[in-house]
Every structure is written in structure tokens, then in C-alpha cells.
Chain A
Amino acid sequence: ETGVTQSPTHLIKTRGQQVTLRCSSQSGHNTVSWYQQALGQGPQFIFQYYREEENGRGNFPPRFSGLQFPNYSSELNVNALELDDSALYLCASSAGGGSYNEQFFGPGTRLTVL
């Protein structure tokens, strides 16, 4: 069984640029959630995708957008990057979109915005 993978591992961008982060869900999982974890903080929920549809969103502006593909992998896109977007971005997959399901986390993508 393959776990959750994320790419790239690290990324450096400059303010105003756009970035795309990728996540492959664990085998058999149809739900992907994205989180932003600033240094020394807990993860902040960005949004969740269930069967290619967004079914939950946290308090993030529209410049944070996502996609889920038929194979349940997912992308997180961030436009007009700001310095405060520097963080570890975590992807988590689960079997179903319910709030009780265990989430399996990937190793994260470390984004630095200069």
C-alpha cells in the first residue's frame, strides 16, 4: 500500500508569483484535504475535495484554489504569493469525506516566499 506523497519537497518563490503543489492520495482513498502549517503553529485547514468536488473550505482567500483528478490525486494552487504564505503545506487523504475518517498525512511541501 502506497502512502500519501507530495511534490515538490521544497520550493522557493518570490512575492507575486504563482505556485502549484501536488499530492497523491493513499491507495483506496477518495478524499484529499490541504493544510497550511506555519512554523510553530498547528495546521490550518484550507479545503477538502471529495470525488473531485470541493466539500469544505477554511478561512483562506480565493487565491488559494485546488483541483482533484479522477485518480483522486490533487493540486493546490496559490496565486499572487505573499510573504505570509511561507509555510509547510500538508496534504492528507482519507477514505470518504466524512469528518470522522482518519486522515493520512503526507510529508509536506516547504514553501518559502521571498
Chain B
Amino acid sequence: AQTVTQSQPEMSVQEAETVTLSCTYDTSESDYYLFWYKQPPSRQMILVIRQEAYKQQNATENRFSVNFQKAAKSFSLKISDSQLGDAAMYFCAYSTGTSGTYKYIFGTGTRLKVLA
């Protein structure tokens, strides 16, 4: 069975600094996708960044980038130039669609605090 593990329940970063959130996963599938979602306090979850497993190039979205290590089954999120608005719960997620049946697995989340 596939699993997603986020080993950091909480992280803190100083405003304008860089922080890396960790995520590891386990799967026997070769075709899958990985995501980072952000859930601000009392607000809706939104997509931060996504990565296709067959692409070796790490995805980047403005201040957000990932370090995707397929062999190690690691998918970390780097946030550069942290801003107060980045404070939220961050969830790593895995999805696959083998034989047309889809499933999505989320990690337990990392709470990011941004210090002014």
C-alpha cells in the first residue's frame, strides 16, 4: 500500500529566509504524481506545486521549488524568501491512476510558522 510521511509536525522560519519541508513516500507504482498543498488557517486548501514522477526536472513555481529524488522516494518543498502569508499547514500528497482507478494519499501535514 502507498504511504506518505511528513516527519516534521511543525517548522518555523524567519521572514525572508528559506525553509525546506520534508516528505517521503512509498509506492511500487512507476507512474504517479506528487503535490504540495497549502491549507491556511480557516481557509481553503490550495495547490502549491506538483511534480510528475517521470520528469527528472524539479518543478518550480515562483518562490516554491521541490527536490524530487525518485530513487530515494523523497519530495521536499523549499520556500524561498518566506513571507508572513506563507504561514499554513502544508500537505504532501501522492496520486496514481492505475487501470483508471484513482486514489489520492495525503501526509499528516507540517505546520509552518513565519516569524516577523
**A interface residues (Cβ-Cβ under 8 A, vs B):** 3-4, 33, 35, 40-45, 48, 55-58, 90, 92, 97-100, 102-103, 105-108
Residues of B within 8 A of A108 (CB): 44
Contact (A45, B44) CB under 8 Å given A100-B95, A102-B50: no
**B interface residues (Cβ-Cβ under 8 A, vs A):** 4, 6, 32-33, 37, 43-47, 50, 52, 91, 93, 95-97, 100-109
By the criterion CB–CB under 8 Å, are B50 and A56 in contact? no
By the criterion CB–CB under 8 Å, are B46 and A45 in contact? no
By the criterion CB–CB under 8 Å, are B109 and A56 in contact? no
Residues of B within 8 A of A100 (CB): 33, 50, 52, 95
Nearest CB of A to B48, in Å: 10
By the criterion CB–CB under 8 Å, are A55 and B50 in contact? no
Contact of A99 among B4, B46, B96, B106 (CB under 8 A): B96
By the criterion CB–CB under 8 Å, are A99 and B108 in contact? no
Nearest CB of B to A40, in Å: 8
By the criterion CB–CB under 8 Å, are A99 and B104 in contact? yes
Contact (A45, B52) CB under 8 Å given A90-B45, A105-B44, A106-B44: no
B interface: dominant SS: strand
18 pairs, CB–CB < 8 Å, chain A vs chain B = A33-B104, A41-B108, A41-B109, A42-B107, A42-B109, A45-B103, A45-B106, A55-B100, A56-B103, A56-B104, A57-B103, A58-B104, A99-B95, A99-B96, A99-B103, A103-B47, A105-B45, A107-B44
By the criterion CB–CB under 8 Å, are B109 and A99 in contact? no
Additional pairs, 19, CB under 8 Å, beyond known A57-B103, A98-B97: A3-B44, A4-B44, A33-B104, A41-B109, A42-B107, A42-B108, A43-B45, A43-B91, A44-B106, A55-B101, A97-B97, A97-B102, A98-B102, A99-B32, A99-B97, A100-B95, A103-B47, A103-B104, A107-B43
